[in-house]
Amino acid sequence: MADPASSSLHVNDPVLRDEPLEFETSAHKFELQQAETEQREPPAYEHLGELPESYGTRRLYLTARDPYFLFAYWDLHHHQIAEMQSWAHDGKVFLQVYHASGARVQQIQIYPNTREWFLHVNQPDTVFYAELGYYNHEGHFVVVSRSGVAVTPRDNLSWKTHAQFVTIPFSFTFKQLLELVATEQKEGEDLAETLARLQDQGYPFPFPTHSVEPLSAEAREKIDALVADGDIVRRTRVGSFDLVDVLKRRLSEQRSSGQWTSSMSSPFGASFGAARHRGFFMNVNAELIIYGGTDPDAKVRIDGEEITLGPDGKFSYHFNFKDGKYHIPIDATSPDGEEVRSALLSFLRLTATTAGVDATPQTPRPTPFGEIAD
């Protein structure tokens, strides 16, 4: 066996020292020592137990879930409802819903184990209130709880067409904006409202602003005509292309019922279609040109396909615009590849013609980008 004193020392061998090594505390000066905490009993409010099923306040609440449903809930113990049943001449307790005028809309019998109820009223934009009680032996309804009023929301477009827009620049902090309009701010007006009002008035801000013109009377009429059909108005989560499907169906119904063709005939039953033999005609068609410009050395893609730019950075794409739906994404990448700018153009063509209208001949052109299949 080798003499331990003469053997070589390996890296992983233990080292025995007579003097302790000096400990550098500066490297650990930011390490926190866990403080010894005194173990205390939790306060009494930590042992309150389960929440009660009811506090017995006898309060009744009514709120609108949507234009057609109300939701009612009440805070009564089951024994309180059982007591009311004992007072009733027929042993029944009722939840009754009324119009603001006092006319009763619904009556629901409730039981000791019920706490809430959905009520189908099917009356948008209407004020309701509810009462909870029973009929005594004289036949009178004894009210135990009465709710506040609840208003069901509208199920059509609001007549309020004014929208408020405001430009809030990213380069300004809210504190800077507040200081900027401090002397112009009205009492009770928040920052966004102040900025919007001043921007509408042409206040000279140190940053560019944009204003939105209100809808014209003609635009309002077009919107009213579009949503006049209740089938359109009552659709929830409806998209623009869903509206097109509804309009297509309505157009088909109008044409099949004679609403379009009857107006094209004379009082004597002679169709104006015969006028084609006299040389009268009509044709119509549509084409679409997308154009724009960017840095001549940038890369531009339309619907993912790169297109050639002109020497001045301008570009255009021309196609025959047939009936259909189109989503056409366009993006441009800077010459150094660091910036990307993009736009999405959406188009819809829906053609309806009477008898005797033909399509105008068109020059063959490339297939349109971004066509969406039905």
Quick one: pLDDT band at residue 352, thresholds 50, 70, 90?
A: confident
Q: How much is the average pLDDT of 257-261?
A: 48
Q: Is residue 214 part of a domain?
A: yes
267 is a domain residue: no
Residue 22: pLDDT band by 50, 70, 90 thresholds? Answer: low
Mean pLDDT of 318-341: 87
The last residue of a domain, from among 87, 118, 151: 151
pLDDT of residue 150 exceeding 90: yes
Please report whether residue 257 resides in a domain: no
**Stretch 9-28: mean pLDDT, rounded?**
52
Q: Does the model's pTM come out above 0.75?
A: no
**Domain identity same for 294 and 219:** no
Q: Which of 127-136, 257-266, 336-345 has the highest mean pLDDT?
A: 127-136
> Please, are residues 224 and 183 in contact by the beta-carbon 8 Å criterion?
no
Last residue of a domain, one of 151, 178, 204: 151
Looking at the fold, whether 102 and 145 belong to one and the same domain comes out as yes
Strand 59-64 and strand 69-75: the pairing is: antiparallel
**Is 117 in the same domain as 87?**
yes
Domain total of the chain: 3
Taking alpha carbons only, the member of 178, 100, 188, 86 closest to residue 134 is 86
In a domain, 247, yes or no: no
Q: How many CB atoms lie within 10 A of CB 326?
A: 19
**Same domain, yes or no: 117 and 75:** yes
Tens of pLDDT, residue by residue over 198-208, are 988 888 888 88
Spatial distance between the Cα atoms of 348 and 328, rounded to a whole number of angstroms? 11
Q: Which of 221, 222, 181, 220 is nearest to 204 (CA)?
A: 181
Q: What pLDDT shows up at residue 304?
A: 81
Q: Are residues 98 and 176 in the same domain?
A: no
Q: How far apart, in whole angstroms, are the C-alpha atoms of residue 227 and residue 180?
A: 43
Q: Which residue has the higher pLDDT, 98 or 32?
A: 98
- With CA atoms as reference, report the closest residue to 94 among 118, 111, 76: 111
Tell me, yes or no, whether 157 lies in a domain.
no
Examine residue 48 and state whether it is found in any structural domain, yes or no: no
* pLDDT surpassing 50 at residue 267: no
Q: Report DSSP state, residue 271.
A: B
Q: How many CA atoms lie within 13 A of 216 on its CB side?
A: 3
CATH code of the domain covering residue 136 = 2.60.40.10
Instruction: Convert the pLDDT of each residue in 169-179 to its tens digit.
Output: 888 888 888 89
What percent of the chain lies above the pLDDT cut of 90? Answer: 26
Contact 281, 300 (CB under 8 A): no
* Residue ranges making up the domain that contains 183: 168-230
Is residue 29 assigned to a domain? no
- pLDDT at residue number 276: 42
pLDDT at 35: 57
Residue that is last in its domain, among 125, 151, 177: 151
| Residue 35 forms part of a structural domain | no
Q: Does one domain contain both 175 and 96?
A: no
Same domain, 108 and 172: no
140 and 177 share one domain: no
Kindly report the CATH number assigned to the domain that includes residue 355.
Answer: 2.60.40
Q: Give Cα separations from 194 to 178, 198, 205, 206, 213 (angstroms).
A: 9, 6, 12, 15, 18
